[in-house]
Amino acid sequence: MLYLWVKAFHIIFVASWFAGLFYLPRLFVNLAMVPADSHAERERLLLMARKLYRFSSILMVPALVLGLWLWLGFGISGGWLHAKLLLVVGVIGYHHMCRSLLRRFEHLENRRSHRWYRVFNEASVLLFAAIVVLVVVKPF
C-alpha cells in the first residue's frame, strides 16, 4: 500500500514540475518578443518567470526524492529504468538551463530569437513523452 502512495505522489510532483517546465520557456518566447522600450511588460514577464522557476524548483525536489524512494526503496529495476534515469538527468539539466536563460534575460544579455525559444520549449514535451513511454511500456 505504501508503494502506491509513493508512486501516486511521485506522479503528482513530476506532472507539477513539468507544468512549470512547459510554461517557463513560453515566457521566454514572450520576453524575447518584448520591444526594447517596453520596460513594464518586460519586468512583469520577468517577475512571472522568476516565480515560476522558483515554484518549479520546489516541485522538483519531492519528485526526485520520491523517484529515488521508488527505485531504491521498492527495488524498481530494468533496462528501461536506466534509460529513464538518463532522461531525468536531461530534465534536470534542462531545468538548470532555464535558470541560466532567465539570468540572461535579467541582465539584458539575451541573444536568442523568439523562434529559438519556441523550439527550446518543445524539448520538455519530448522529454516528458519519452519518460512516460519508458515507464508505461517498459520496452526493455
In three-state form (DSSP H/G/I as H, E/B as E, the rest C), the secondary structure along 66-107 is HHHHHHHHHCCCCHHHHHHHHHHHHHHHHHHHHHHHHHHHHC
Cβ-contact 59, 17 below 8 angstroms? yes
**What pLDDT sits at residue 54?**
98
**What pLDDT sits at residue 75?**
86
**What pLDDT sits at residue 89?**
98
Helix, strand and coil percent figures for the chain, each rounded to 5:
85, 0, 15
Rounded CA-CA distance 108/128 in Å is 30
pLDDT band for 87, please (50, 70, 90 cuts): very high
Burial (CB < 10 A; 0-12, 13-18, 19+), residue 36, is exposed
The answer on pLDDT for 110 being more than 90 is: yes
Rounded CA-CA distance 66/72 in Å is 10
pLDDT digits (tens, 9 = 90+) for 31-49: 999 998 999 999 999 999 9
Number of domains into which the chain is organized: 1
pLDDT band for 137, please (50, 70, 90 cuts): very high
Closest to 24 measured CA to CA, from 94, 80, 86, 84: 94
Local structure of residue 23 (DSSP, 8 states) = H
Rounded CA-CA distance 37/49 in Å is 19
Residue 61 has which C-alpha cell? 525536489
pLDDT band for 95, please (50, 70, 90 cuts): very high
pLDDT digits (tens, 9 = 90+) for 8-30: 999 999 999 999 999 999 999 99
